[in-house]
Amino acid sequence: MIRLTKETRTYTFAPENPPAITVDPGTTLIFETLDALDDQIHSDSDPASKVDLNHCNGITGPVFIKGAKPGDTLVAEILDIQPWDWGAALIIPGFGFLQDTIPGPYTKVVRIDKDGSMRLGEKVRLPARPMIGTIGVSPTKAIPTLNSGQHGGNLDTTDIRPGSKLFLPVLVEGALFGVGDVHATMGDGEVCGTGVECGAEVTIKLDLLKDHPIERPRIETSLEIMVVASAEGLNAAIKMALVDMVNWLQTDHGLSKEEAYVIVSSAGDVRIGQVVDPAVTVRVALPKGIFSGRR
């Protein structure tokens, strides 16, 4: 299987970044990813203030997908995530939802067991919930990997995990896909600014939907479909995701906008991805089962 090493990493999603590899649609790759802290933290005594924020959140890639053009959709099927055997959770001064009251710095390095679970102190064991924080394609102009947007990026969305498909709008020729910033676990909101940040090996199948434009990222899990929106401010992000979902239901399911709006309100969930990055990320999820029309 094709393997991309962490040495290929970059710190921007950018059209000028040279491809690390060129592949056909339908190719499965293993991405070696470095933790979002760029391997700068190794023990509880490494202060979070040591982290150089200009040198973190690297993505492995980019991958040029043959035939990908603007107006297509790139499908990234997350097949597997194997975290390293350790990770770190931090409170970084000036970062996080409670930065005024719990400013840090604080560092907690945790060992990740073979089953993916991790012990936090003597009393708490966190279950394995590996997911991808940063994943996306190149926009038409360079964007740092700490940011999120139409191209994906630092989405920190817990449903980007094994078994999920992420759909991304192709914005430049070849798509230039990259991935990094794996979390061994993270809660919705990522309130202190990190999950358990770790390096990993991520297995992803990349495919194309030709002439299939979408506005921004979408996710399909075994049970749900979702739209993912990032904006400066929670209200703006929620509105963006709702409009997208209503449009999607109109286009693909022939519903009126009023029907779609009521269905989203009655059966859908608005969930928070993260509220700590430069743009916050939300998703609107809808169960797939409602479309069968049968009881």
Q: Least CB distance from residue 33 to Ca ion, whole Å?
A: 12
Interface with Ca ion by CB under 5 A: which range of 23-31, 110-118, 156-164, 265-273?
156-164
- Phi, psi values for residue 116, rounded to 5°: 90, -10
Nearest to 51 by CA among 60, 33, 66, 38: 38
Tell me the number of residues near Ca ion by CB under 5 A.
4
CA 279 to mean position of chain CA atoms: 13
Q: Does 154 bind Ca ion (CB under 5 A)?
A: yes
Selected binder of Ca ion within 133, 139, 153, 169 (CB under 5 A): 133
Interface with Ca ion by CB under 5 A: which range of 71-79, 109-117, 146-154, 235-243?
146-154
Q: Look up residue 46 and give its two tokens.
A: 């490494």
Q: Least CB distance from residue 122 to Ca ion, whole Å?
A: 28
CB 105 within 8 A of CB 48: yes
For residue 180, give the 3-state DSSP assignment.
strand
- Phi, psi values for residue 141, rounded to 5°: -130, 150
Based on CB atoms, which residue is closest to Ca ion, 156 or 159? Answer: 156
CB 51 within 8 A of CB 40: yes
Cα–Cα distance list, 222 to 33, 42, 161, 226 (Å): 25, 36, 11, 11
Q: Least CB distance from residue 159 to Ca ion, whole Å?
A: 14
- Binding pattern to Ca ion, positions 164-203, x when CB under 5 A? -----------------x----------------------
Q: Least CB distance from residue 98 to Ca ion, whole Å?
A: 17
Exposed, middle or buried: residue 26 (CB in 10 Å: 0-12, 13-18, 19+)?
exposed
Based on CB atoms, which residue is closest to Ca ion, 132 or 249? Answer: 132
Q: Does 38 bind Ca ion (CB under 5 A)?
A: no
The one-letter amino acid at 4: L
Interface with Ca ion by CB under 5 A: which range of 43-51, 91-99, 131-139, 252-260?
131-139
Based on CB atoms, which residue is closest to Ca ion, 90 or 245? Answer: 90
Where on the chain is the footprint of Ca ion (CB under 5 A)?
133, 154, 156, 181
